[in-house]
Structure 1
C-alpha cells in the first residue's frame, strides 16, 4: 500500500477486526465523492468508521443522526428561520446541520419518512439543497448510511440507489473471537488527509484509461447481472467506471486494472445475499481461484493403488507349492510366526512373482502419469506465482481477500503434491514386486485411467 493510503487505512481499521473491506470501501468513497451504505446488525462499528473518516479530514464539518419514523426534517436540515418567516420567506438555519456538513452519518437511514427521504435524494445525488427560494450547494464529501437490512419497500429503491457502495458487515466470527477480547483500545496512530488530496485524485482519475481486458470483464459482469435477475442502471455502470478510475488514479496507475474490480460485489449487488455470487465472479475470473478439476487425477492415482494392491496380494500359481510351504512354516514357528525369518522368506515365495517386462510396463505407466502431474504442477505453480504477485502488488485489495486467494492456490499445490507423492509410492511398489526372470515376457493389460 502506498504510504499516503496505508496510514489512513490504519486509522480506520485500528482495533477493529474483519473490517478491511468496509475501511477500504469507505476511504475510496471519500476519494471518489460517493456515498457508502453499511448493512449489518448493531454493534458492528458502522458509526465508528464514519467518525474515524471525519477525524482523518481535520477541519471538516460532521453531522450524525439516528433516524426513526418520527424524525422530522428540522432534525436533519435545521430549524425554520423566524426572521425569514417574518419576511414571508420559508428558510432553514442550516449551519451545523446536514446541508452544511462535509462528512455525515445517518443511522437506520431507511426509517425516515418520505418528507426527509425526498429531500435527501437531491442532496445526495446533486449536492444541492433547496432552502426556500434558494438552491444552495452542499459541501458534502460523503454520506455514510447504516441499516440492519436493505429496504424491502419499492418506494425506497431510488434512495437505496444513491449509495454507490453497499457493504455488508457482520459480527466478528468465532475464529477471531479471542482477538476481539484482546482488541487494542489505545488511540489510533495519527494520520490525516486534506481536501486537496481528494481533489487531486479525482482530477487524476479523468486521465485514467479503461483497457480492453477490463471492458471484457465489465461485459461479463453485465451478463451475470442479467442472468441472475439483478438490474443495474446505466447510471450505476457509469458511476462504477468513475470509481474504478479513482481507485487506479490513487495507485498512480495509467489504466484501470482487472484487480480494481474487487469492488464489483459492493457496487452491483442489490442486497447482501447477492454479494457471494459477485465475489465468486471476481475470484474465478481475475484471481483464477475457481475449482481446479482433479477428480480424474485422483481416480487415476487410485486405480494404480488398487492395481498394486491386487498384484501384491495375488497368490502364487496353482502348480507352485509355496502356499503349502507357508502354512508349514507358520506351524513350525508357532505363536511367534509373525517374527520368524523362515515365515517371512516363505511368505514372499507364497505370492505371485512377475516378469521384468510386467514390472517395467507398470512402472512406465506410472511414470507417464507422473510426468503429466509434473507438467500440471508447474503450470499451477506459475499461475499461483503470477496471481499472488499481482494480488500482493495491488494497493487496495483487502488482506482478507488476499489470504483467501493464497489459500486456494496453496491448497491446489498441496493436493497435486500429495497425488505425486502417492503415485511415486505406487510406482516404487510396482518396482518392488517379486521378480521371476524365467517367466514369459508378457505385457500386462494397462491400468485403465484417463485424465479429463
Structure 2
C-alpha cells in the first residue's frame, strides 16, 4: 500500500523540528488516522502543545485549546448559554469557536478539571456528541489530546484516563544538539499541508489494511504474557488497539499488518509510567526482538554519553576518562547495529537506521565537545 507521500513528508518534517519525539510523532499520526485520542504526560515546557499545534496546522484543522482548572465549567468548552434561547426556556449553547466546531482538541492539565467537565469530555470521546438543550448534537472531533503533569487521583479521572488509547511520557530534551536545535529554530511548524479531505481519505483506507492471522495470534500471545506479569488491559482496549496496529502498518506503507506492528502497543498497555519499561521488554521480546535489541543498544549509548556529560562541570580528569570510554562504546555500538541490520526485516532496519544515526550524532557531539573544550585528540 502506498502511504500518502505528503504524510511521510509531514512525518519527516515533524521529526526534524521536534527532536527526541519520534515515537510521539508516529503515535500521534497513527492515532489521528484511526480517530483515537492521545495523552501526553510530562512537565510544562516539553513541546506537548507545540507539536499538536503543528499537526493541526498541517491538516488545516480547527484546533480548540483550553487550560483546565478545578473551577472550569462546561460552558468554557461548549460556549455560553444563549440568552435569547433562555428567554424561551431553552438551554442552548453558543458554540462559535468552541469544542463543537473543532477537529482537534488540546486540553492542558486535563485531570485538574472537576466531574462536570470530565463527564462532558468522556461523552465527547466516546460518542462524538454533546447535549444541547437536552438533544445530542454530533461534533466533527477527530482526536483529543490531553496534556498533564499529574496522573489521575480518583475514579472519575480514571474513567477519562482509560479513554486515551495512546499515552506518552515526555521529559526535557537530553541531548545538547537537540536543545541547540530547539533554541535556534523559530516557532516549530510544518511546511507540508495535507488538508482535512486528505485526512478523511487516509482514515477510510485504514480498514482496508489487512489484519493478518499472524498478527492476531501474536496479539493473543502478547496479552497472555502481559497477564503473567500482572499487566492487565481491558478487552475494549485490546479491541481498539488493533485499529491502531492497522494505522501503524499504513504509515509503514504496508497493505497488511505483521507482528512487528504490535510494537506500537508499548504506549497503549501501560497504566502508570513506571510500567512502561516492563511493557516494552515484553512487547519487544515477543513481537520485534531485533528492533528491541537495537533499542537496548541505543539506550546503552545514550547512557554512556549522558554519564560523560554529567561529569564535565565537576571533574576534568574523570570527564576525559569517561568521554574516552563513551566514544569507544558508541563506535562499537554502531558496528553492532550494522551487523544486526543484516538479519532484520525492512521495518526493523528502518528502526536500526534511526538508532545508528543517533549514535553517530552522539559520538560526533561528544568528540567535538572534548576537542573544543579539553584539547583531546578526536577519534574519527
TM-score, normalised by the number of residues in structure 1: 0.64
Q: Distance in 2 between matches of 1:207 and 1:189?
A: 28
Deviations 1:341-386 (Å, cap 9, x if unpaired)? xxxxxxxxxxxxxxxxxxxxxxxxxxxxxxxxxxxxxxx9986413
8 A contact 1:67–1:112 mirrored in 2: yes
Q: Distance in 1 between matches of 2:272 and 2:179?
A: 27
Deviation, structure 1 residue 252: 4.1
| Change in 2 beyond 3 A, CA 1:386/1:217 | same
Counterpart of 2:49 in structure 1 is 47
Deviations 1:227-283 (Å, cap 9, x if unpaired)? 232331121111100111122234442211222122111111112111111222233
Q: Distance in 2 between matches of 1:126 and 1:399?
A: 41
| Change in 2 beyond 3 A, CA 1:405/1:266 | farther
1:181 aligns with 2:180: yes
8 A contact 1:230–1:269 mirrored in 2: yes
Counterpart of 1:387 in structure 2 is 344
1:80 aligns with 2:81: yes
The structure with the larger Rg is 1
Q: Distance in 1 between matches of 2:32 and 2:133?
A: 29
Task: Structure 2: give runs of 5+ residues left out of the alignment.
Answer: 294-336, 361-380
| Change in 2 beyond 3 A, CA 1:181/1:151 | same
Counterpart of 2:17 in structure 1 is 15
8 A contact 1:287–1:405 mirrored in 2: no
| Change in 2 beyond 3 A, CA 1:180/1:159 | same
Counterpart of 2:326 in structure 1 is none
Deviations 1:274-320 (Å, cap 9, x if unpaired)? 111122223323133678xxxxxxxxxxxxxxxxxxxxxxxxxxxxx
8 A contact 2:54–2:190 mirrored in 1: no
Task: Structure 1: give runs of 5+ residues left out of the alignment.
Answer: 292-379, 407-452
Counterpart of 2:201 in structure 1 is 200
Counterpart of 2:33 in structure 1 is 31
Deviations 1:149-191 (Å, cap 9, x if unpaired)? 3213233111111111111111112xx1244134341464510
Count of residue pairs brought into register by the alignment: 313
| Change in 2 beyond 3 A, CA 1:251/1:201 | farther
| Change in 2 beyond 3 A, CA 1:105/1:400 | farther
SS in 2 for 1:167: strand
**Equivalent residues in 2 for 1:337-356 (5 A)?**
none
Q: Distance in 1 between matches of 2:359 and 2:225?
A: 22
Q: Distance in 2 between matches of 1:256 and 1:239?
A: 15
| Change in 2 beyond 3 A, CA 1:102/1:389 | closer
**Equivalent residues in 2 for 1:5-404 (5 A)?**
5-58=7-60, 60-173=61-174, 176-183=175-182, 184-186=184-186, 188-285=189-286, 286-288=288-290, 384-387=341-344, 389-393=346-350
Q: Say which is worse superposed, 207-216 or 163-172, in terms of deviation.
A: 207-216
Q: Distance in 2 between matches of 1:96 and 1:226?
A: 45
Deviations 1:125-168 (Å, cap 9, x if unpaired)? 11011111321101011111001132132331111111111111
SS in 2 for 1:144: strand
Q: Distance in 2 between matches of 1:401 and 1:4?
A: 24
| Change in 2 beyond 3 A, CA 1:27/1:399 | farther
Deviation, structure 1 residue 401: 6.0
Q: Distance in 2 between matches of 1:137 and 1:402?
A: 47
SS in 2 for 1:130: strand
TM-score, normalised by the number of residues in structure 2: 0.75
Counterpart of 2:297 in structure 1 is none
SS in 1 for 2:290: coil
